[in-house]
């Protein structure tokens, strides 16, 4: 099995950090369509953290395992990927 196949078949536990949960709550209060977009991105990330919707890109100025996907032109979902987890860090603004 290739490394790509292993990456795609690996089951990773999602971990939703406090800032991510707060950001998602903010979206539900202020723009429910963006909240649904965030949930769509979460689902896509869980299926394959490295390809798919939202233009996934590794963040070169942060940890090598840190990635982002576009919610819109201003806001991003930021997450880290390890062999057994995906930590969802934030869902508003650019990378912090």
Answer yes or no: 83 catalytic: no
Which is the catalytic residue, given 17, 57, 74, 83?
Answer: 57
Which is the catalytic residue, given 5, 30, 83, 94?
Answer: 94
Query: How many Å apart are CA 39 and CA 41, to the nearest integer?
Result: 5
Query: How many Å apart are CA 79 and CA 13, to the nearest integer?
Result: 13
Answer yes or no: 94 catalytic: yes
C-alpha dist (Å) from residue 70 to 10, 21, 39, 83, 89:
24, 17, 12, 23, 14
Active site residues: 57, 94
């Amino acid at each position: 099995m290739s490394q790509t196949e292993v990456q795609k078949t690996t089951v990773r536990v999602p971990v939703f950090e406090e800032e991510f949960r707060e950001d998602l709550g903010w979206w539900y209060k202020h723009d429910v369509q963006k909240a649904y977009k965030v949930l769509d991105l979460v689902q896509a990330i869980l299926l394959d953290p490295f390809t798919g919707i939202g233009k996934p890109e590794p963040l070169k100025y942060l940890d090598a395992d840190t990635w982002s996907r576009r919610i819109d032109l201003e806001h991003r979902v930021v997450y880290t990927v390890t062999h057994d987890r995906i930590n969802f860090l934030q869902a508003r603004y650019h990378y912090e």
